[in-house]
Chains A and B, each alone.
Chain A
């Protein structure tokens, strides 16, 4: 019997009101995350991957208009704000892109790590400080005992991101959402942080939802991957499968446009055109205007996400559904 997913997102829609009209940032996303796995979400900026992450924790400044976010069987969209606060940082934690700005410049890092401990585990000041030092040791911050008294500006970018990870892991959450955790870092530091995330997952069996635009990161770290385009998941499956045999033309384009995905000797080929602007998403497949395989029907018929076997899904009219895959 397959294990129950800890996070089950169904039909999630998040919208923003902008000067240009309603922006459907997340437009009907289904997503499952099982205990202890690392799931990557990739897409260009503006594809809605960050909005999805913020929506799961109900920290988006947009409006969640439809759908469910079930965390261990409980729809978090129905929780009162106070109950939501108990969940945040305790069972679901989130870390952000830029370690330069995601720490309060006026607060010692020990205090910042201690905050979640004090709110969720009801630790006293001293106990929280001791635990903070231990957490910093666990993320391999040298001289952790003394570092808890430092202010963020006294640390390097990589060290800060270690602090941020320690902060996210402080209550050993069931799910850690990491929004572009390495984008703002130097390349050499990037792989250290990725290793740290992977190591942390193994130690604590915390599941990780990793938001990134970098296919290399996905290849290195993720068990499964979901590709987002224009607010929708256009393809998902096991990372190895998706990389070896991409089913959606957009995924194919993404792989060809990065050194990680292309075949040896093949030149990098960027995807032509731009993602659709808000309000410009007409009927039909949102990717059709950029798609080299598009047919006439793609212009007016919106594709569904269909199961194509092997736990894989793709949202493309040119794929045919595999009948024996049980519906979720």
Chain B
């Protein structure tokens, strides 16, 4: 079953583009990455899911229910961590979390305490006195305390130190193993690579590619580096080669296609060194943005 189903979703802010014709679907139990640079439309998409804003056209369903008509029911089962967290000042952490808890039908006190302990959150402190990183922890506890079926993360790691990031990712993995579906928006590719099964790449408001992480890394591109004297880069100007860079006796390029074609071309010449490796997600990503 699809947990999220988006069909031709479009949002304009007046004349300004938010997202255009976005379609994808997220299966139950998946950790789905949503990557793109700032301003690509990631937060717009998420805010549409949460009915903070309403679509210009197209539709989206979460748990099989239309977001415009069943927002309240849907939000009962969503845990959301925004990219920046802001809270009412003058409240204690515990009061804020209890306030959060009061909106959900189930009793979440036990889970709330567990999460606070994992994230090393001091419940007695006042929100105003917390550092940004600590406010983010409050956000994590608040987003997960009701054991939601769908966890929506918008650039979740900003402001967390590496140790907390690790704890956070472990927590998300546990939630995922429990059965929660995760929608993970980020522009940091390393974390998406680490966490996600599939990824949608969004650029200038449009989803330009949807792939599973493995095929994105393995099946498509090879990163090839050849070192040799008097190398003529035209030799390698065959179909499937791109981003060719020549510098100081070596050439670098990405190749997509039958690898034998390239090895044959290489073997015809005397070379000093050859490396063929998997491109990182960053490099693949760069490719989509060239």
Chains A and B bind each other: no
**Which residues of B pack against A, CB within 8 Å?**
none
